[in-house]
Amino acid sequence: MALHKGARHYGERADGKACGDLGDLLDALPLRDVLEAQARADEMFAEFLAIRAPAVVDAGHCFTFFVTRWGALRVPPNERPKADARANGHSPVSATKDYTAGMDLFKKKAAT
């Protein structure tokens, strides 16, 4: 697995739930898809750990963020649809998009 020099990688409280969520995702897939994802595991983790989005880096690349992106990560980058490929105008889930951008605002609202 490729790691960035000096990057923090450690567990979080939500990792147990993330493990359960990943188990649920795997249980719902045909065995062939599970085995293909397992064969790509090293590449998936390397791609995830290469994400430089500040929220992901600041959170230490926690496993919850990996599980959130798992569906996109299991598809090789050259086989993923382009961002404008959906008919409804919404962009598809991206393995590298920072989905935690709104968390600071959420935390501020929750604290008040």
Q: How far apart are CA 30 and CA 25, in angstroms?
A: 10
Q: How far apart are CA 6 and CA 60, in angstroms?
A: 11
Confidence at residue 2, expressed as pLDDT on a 0 to 100 scale: 38
| Beta carbons of 63 and 15 less than 8 angstroms apart | yes
CA distances from 39 to 13, 26, 43, 74 (A): 28, 14, 9, 10
What's the whole-model pTM score?
0.61
Spatial neighbors of 68 by CB under 8 A, at least 6 apart, are 99
Walk along the chain (112 residues) and give the pLDDT tens digit of each residue: 334 555 555 566 788 888 899 999 999 999 999 999 999 999 998 998 888 888 888 877 888 888 888 888 888 888 877 665 555 656 656 656 665 555 566 666 666 6
